[in-house]
Chain A
Amino acid sequence: MEKTNHSQQLNLFEDISDLQLLNLTKFQLFLYKLIHFFKGIPGLLVSLFKTIGKLLKGLFTWIGNDLADIVKTFKDGDFKTKLSYLIMGFGSLTRGQILRGLLFLIFEVVFIVYMITAGGHWLGKLGTLGTQLPGTVYDPKLDTYVRVDGDDSFKCLLYGVLTIMFILCFIYTWRMNVKQNKDAEELLRAGKKLKTAKDDVSSLLDDQFHKTLLALPLTGITLFTVFPILFMILVAFTNYDGAHDGYSNLFTWVGLENFNTLFSMNTSSGNMSFAFGEILSWTLIWAFFATFTNYFLGMFVAIMINKKGIKFKKLWRGILVLTSAVPQFISLLYVSKMFAANGMVNGLLINQGLISDLSHIIRFWEDKTLARIMVIVINIWIGIPYLMLITTGILMNIPADLYESARIDGANAVQQFFKITLPYMLFVTGPYLLTSFIGNINNFNVIFLLSGGGPNNIKLSTAAGTAGDTDLLVTWLFKITTNEGSKYYLASVIGIMIFVVVSTIALIVYNVIPSTRNEEDYS
């Protein structure tokens, strides 16, 4: 207790020495970090640019060193190594590492064949995304008009990007091939044996086991997450939409125009920047309330059930958990209809005489403020059981003697909560709060199934389609791609903006929340 009193006298707005920092409670430390984060924003920006500079410098030195190493290996190497620069795997093959050598060689052949037959073609189209519409062109040789299949901008972009990825992959493999030669030469010079094919295979279950385990997951992630994201980032710089679908009407690069559209006031396509600003701010408000109402109320419920002397603990928990077992879409759709204008709630109110007639029914989903409150409240209903589960486990981990000594010191329940429970919870669940906040920014299901983004707001409706008062950026994005006109380029720009928003928040939080990311702590 004395410690706490001492540290309370400190001014958290001033710099505190390391020794004094040790005396702070976790909660004070959290506050201190928060305050100093915001005080340090200008410094942070400076250091951000410095870091970028450092990274760039590091990148160039790395490339320089790598090139120097490649040249040196070539100079020092024997003819096998030298020839490997042209014929990949030659060194391995002639040194008896047949399997490795063959794999390198096959990869090189496949790469060359691909580049000649298709890669070059797609690479050439990447600059324009296609020039030829389907139709008939005049063929001077035949002196007649012949039908041609037009270019497909979508394919040009897709295969163009894939080709670039393939080339990078080739460069990496080539570099590996050079390094292998260098290593093999060094080993032989030292009089050691090279690894046989059998060694290579068995090492995949031992030293190189991580490669075996990661091969499948990482291939999936590269093809189905990384590549689509790269592709969609590029789409933000094109005019790809329903009218420019790529094959009946080509699309092409437009530079930063789409970002201009989003940020310029009163363009011909409606007030896009206003709509974006409104929807973004509601998204943040929603994410804040959705995260913290669930968090604190869930914790509150968990504490109540955990309290000594409360009976039927299993029953209370069971009831709540039972409701979270029902697939969310059922609960959401049902509750949404329950509160509809002619739904169960209004019907019951009329039948009980609480509402006189149909003209007085409560239109839960048709008023901006009411609809917003509704989605937050129903989200609490959805989220509390889950949060209750999480917090119950953590609450049980708080050492009981902490509470015991607090009680002896005369702390009441409220003080115990603010001095012990809350700081502990915040400390342990910090990263969870961040993930949950990000999850709520992109919480498609709750909004789409409850309110569908409505009520529609004319002010938010642009050339990209309509939007409503409870629309989040992500449901807006969905509407833009599925509405008539399908402005994919705009959806991409908004997707990038979501990324910017989320990573800014993550950056702030990572700097403030005490780290629990130390993996070894739990071993």
Chain B
Amino acid sequence: MNENKKHMGLKAKERLSNTVIYAILIVMSIVWLIPFVFLVFESFRVESTYQVGYVIPKQFGFDNYINLFTKTDFPIWFKNTLVIGLFVSVIQTVIVLCMSYTLSRLRFKGRKGLMNIMLVLGFFPGFLSLVILYKVLSWLNLTSANSVPGLILVYVASSGMGYYVSKGFFDTISRSLDEAARVDGATRFQVFTKVIMPLSKPIVIYTILTAFMGPWGDFMLAKYVSHATSAGMNVAVGLQTMISTPASLAANYTMFCAGGVVVAIPITILFMCLQKYYVEGVTGGAVKG
């Protein structure tokens, strides 16, 4: 009897704690989703372009989207960002894979030293180098309206520094694979291309995905290099300038929301499709630092 009661007590306790957890999770889901729901509603609002105190528009319409594509430089910003994203994802992936593969699976003199230097370089705020990079880019005429190639150059040039996550991945592949291939007479190049690369699909996709998404969110560098020239902006800088002053905020607020939706949809879809790889990369990366 007593046993049974205790058992019941445990069960009731369990049910209570689960209920509390469900409540927390539901509240959290609402809190996390609400801003995006608001964003979508506001992007369809026709009656006022400014911020209002209600969520559901009195008049639904595509006006903001039409204005966004016809009356602003948004198509240019979008194209700029897409071009940057595509180039960066390809080049950066090659660079990161070269770097991380070498540091993970090849042993050579100065390897540890190299990694320590990278670590210390990472302690400097990246922004510091921007002053000189901007100056050099402007000599090369790669700023303002031409900032797309300039930005690609800057993004990919230092991308070797971000080798940690994929190095962590290569570290987990058993070394006996390499050794077996080496015994069979494969060169190190062949080990790289024929043995390890076929196993590395998850990390390749992860690297492409993060490299592609990076430029969509980059703000500081893009703002500096585009230097207030609309034709050279990416979506982040463009949409931010759209609402940066009180007057422009009043005129463009709902259009900004529409822009946010237009940018978020393709990225989110892409992200959801490749989520599995993203999760693997993030988890693995954090474990190995």
Contacts and interface: CB of A to CB of B under 8 A. Distances in A.
B124 A495 contact: yes
A2 to B, nearest CB: 27
B51 A224 contact: no
Given A221-B161, A337-B253, A393-B279, A205 B125 contact: no
A330 B263 contact: yes
B289 A435 contact: yes
B146 interface: no
B268 A231 contact: no
Contacts of A337: 51, 243, 249, 253
Interface in B71-110: 94-96, 98-99, 101-102, 104, 106, 108
Contacts of A231: 129, 132
B148 interface: no
Interface stretch (A9-17, A49-57, A119-127, A426-434): A426-434
Interface of A is mostly: helix
Nearest to B107: A210
Nearest to A413: B17
B124 A229 contact: yes
Nearest to A305: B25
A523 B53 contact: no
Given A333-B240, A498-B125, A522-B288, A342 B51 contact: yes
A445 interface: yes
Interface stretch (A80-88, A259-267, A346-354): A346-354
Given A224-B133, A327-B216, A334 B25 contact: no
A351 B95 contact: no
A338 B220 CA distance: 22
A199 interface: no
Contacts of B50: 342
Interface string A206-224: 1101101110111011011
Nearest to A517: B289
A220 B160 contact: yes
B38 A226 contact: no
A232 B283 contact: no
Interface residues of A, number: 101
Contacts of B175: 523
Given A329-B239, A449-B219, A499-B123, A390 B283 contact: yes
B236 A158 contact: no
A444 B171 contact: no
B282 A442 contact: no
A429 B289 CA distance: 7
Interface residues of B, number: 102
Contact of A389 (B18, B33, B283): B283
A348 B32 CA distance: 18
Interface string A187-203: 00000000000000010
A220 B189 contact: no
B29 A503 contact: no
B260 interface: yes
B283 A394 contact: yes
Contacts of B235: 327
Interface stretch (B1-9, B62-70, B151-159, B199-207): B151-159
Contacts of B189: 205-206, 209, 212
A217 B124 contact: no
Contact of B161 (A212, A225, A499): A225
A250 interface: no
A369 B253 CA distance: 27
- Residue of A338, A386, A516 most packed against chain B (CB within 10 A): A338
B38 A516 contact: no
A322 B174 CA distance: 34
Contacts of B153: 224
Contact of B282 (A325, A329, A390): A390
Contacts of B135: 154
A349 B54 CA distance: 10
B21 A429 contact: no
B102 A224 contact: no
B128 interface: yes
30 contacts: A209-B187, A209-B192, A210-B111, A217-B95, A217-B96, A217-B159, A217-B160, A220-B95, A220-B157, A229-B121, A229-B128, A232-B132, A304-B25, A310-B22, A323-B36, A327-B216, A327-B236, A329-B217, A329-B219, A340-B51, A344-B52, A348-B54, A351-B54, A390-B283, A428-B287, A432-B287, A445-B217, A448-B220, A495-B127, A519-B288
A-B CB proximity, top 3 nearest? A347-B53, A431-B289, A393-B283
Given A329-B239, A348-B53, 12 more contacts: A207-B188, A212-B189, A216-B94, A225-B157, A228-B133, A310-B18, A333-B260, A334-B257, A335-B35, A432-B289, A522-B287, A523-B173
Interface of B: 14, 18, 21-22, 24-25, 28-29, 31-33, 35-36, 38-39, 42, 50-55, 94-96, 98-99, 101-102, 104, 106, 108, 111, 118-133, 135-136, 153-154, 156-161, 164, 168, 171-175, 187-189, 192, 213, 216-217, 219-220, 224, 235-236, 239-240, 243, 249, 253, 256-257, 260, 263-264, 267-268, 271-272, 275, 279, 282-289
Interface of A: 154, 158, 202, 205-207, 209-210, 212-214, 216-218, 220-221, 223-226, 228-229, 231-232, 235, 301, 304-305, 307, 309-310, 316, 319-323, 325-331, 333-335, 337-338, 340, 342-344, 346-351, 381, 384-386, 389-390, 392-394, 428-432, 434-435, 438, 442, 444-445, 448-449, 473-474, 477-478, 481-482, 488, 491-492, 495, 498-499, 502-503, 506, 516-517, 519, 522-523
